[in-house]
Amino acid sequence: MSPDPKTESFMALAIAQAKAAAQRGEVPVGAVLIHQRRVIACAGNRTLELHDPTAHAEILVIREACQQANSQRLPDFDLYVTLEPCTMCAAAISFARIRRLYIAAEDAKAGAVLNGARFYDQPNCHHAPEIYSGIGESEASRLLKSFFQKRRNVPPDCL
């Protein structure tokens, strides 16, 4: 499915970030950016903590790697993310010229890569990464389901 033998271990790091996000009360999504088989940046969602609706895991690792690279483009970078990116993140991934995108679980509701807007298939998309999906899917999905199940059982004013 993927040309990179380290795929599973990189996705495991992203899943660890998703778990850490859940422990902080954030939606459990994690992302890792790889360059030449080295981990350059990893993050989980931090929208609540940072008071920033753009602080999705993908945006955080892209911004961090761009700072390290002194560039707004990351053409030889591969992104591992535990949930299919939303429209905002799909566009940011394209703007950053990410080379490959590895997705664990699909997101039929808010995903914009394999579902919904299918951003990379649109005629106005200037750059589409190579896409690989399904690596670590069961664990990433389980984390999300468990998180939302627990949240539904908490009175809304405690969230």
Residues at the interface with its own copies (CB under 8 A): 47-48, 50-55, 59, 62-63, 66-67, 69-73, 86-92, 95-96, 109-110, 112, 116-117, 119, 122, 124
Cross-strand partners of 80: 32, 102
Residue (10 or 120) nearer to its own copies, CB: 120
CB of 6 to its own copies, least distance (A): 25
Residue (87 or 133) nearer to its own copies, CB: 87
DSSP H stretches of helix in the chain: 7-23, 47-50, 57-69, 87-95, 137-152
Instruction: Indicate the SS3 state at residue 157.
Output: helix
DSSP H stretches of helix in 44-136: 47-50, 57-69, 87-95
Question: Does residue 58 carry a catalytic annotation?
Answer: yes
Q: Which of 8, 58, 84, 137 is catalytic?
A: 58
Kindly list the catalytic residues: 58
